[in-house]
Amino acid sequence: MSMMGEFRQFAMKGNVVDLAVGVIIGGAFGRIVDSLVQDIIMPPISRLFGGLDFASYYIPLNNQGWTLPLVDAKKLGAVLAYGNFLTVLINFIILAFVIFQMIRMMNRLRITDAPVPVATVTPEDVLLLREIRDNLKTRPA
C-alpha cells in the first residue's frame, strides 16, 4: 500500500475525524469563554480593585513606577504582569468547569443497558457428571 493510501486510511478512521471535530469546536468554544471572561466577568472584578483594566496590573521590577500603563512599563524594563495571568487562570477555571458540566450531563444522558443474560446450554457430559455425583451422594456407604 502506498504512503498516501496508508495516510488516507489513518485519516478516515472514526477517532481521527471525531478528534478533529472536537478540536475545532473546542477552539471556537475557547474563544466564547475568553470573551465571557474578558468582557463580562473581569470588568466587575476590575471595578472592585480600583476600576483599572485588570489585565494591565503589574509589579515593576526595574523601578519603572506604578502609574505607567503596562505596555510602557514593559518598554522600560521587566515587570511581573500578574493581572494577565489571573485573567487567563480565571478563563481556564471557567472553561474546565463548563467542560466538566457537559461531560457530567452526557454521562447522565447516556443510555446504560443492563447486560442481557445469555442462556447457556450445559454440555451433556457435564450433566452426566452431575447426575453421577448426585447418585453417589445418595448411596449408602
Question: How far is the C-alpha of 87 from the C-alpha of 79, rounded, in Å?
Answer: 17
Residues 80, 87: Cα–Cα separation, whole Å: 14
Span 4-24, pLDDT tens digits: 888 877 777 767 777 888 888
**CA 48/CA 30 separation, integer angstroms:** 26
Tens-digit pLDDT profile for residues 21-38: 888 888 888 888 888 877
Please state whether the predicted TM-score (pTM) of the whole model is above 0.85: no
- Residue 13 is predicted with a pLDDT of 72
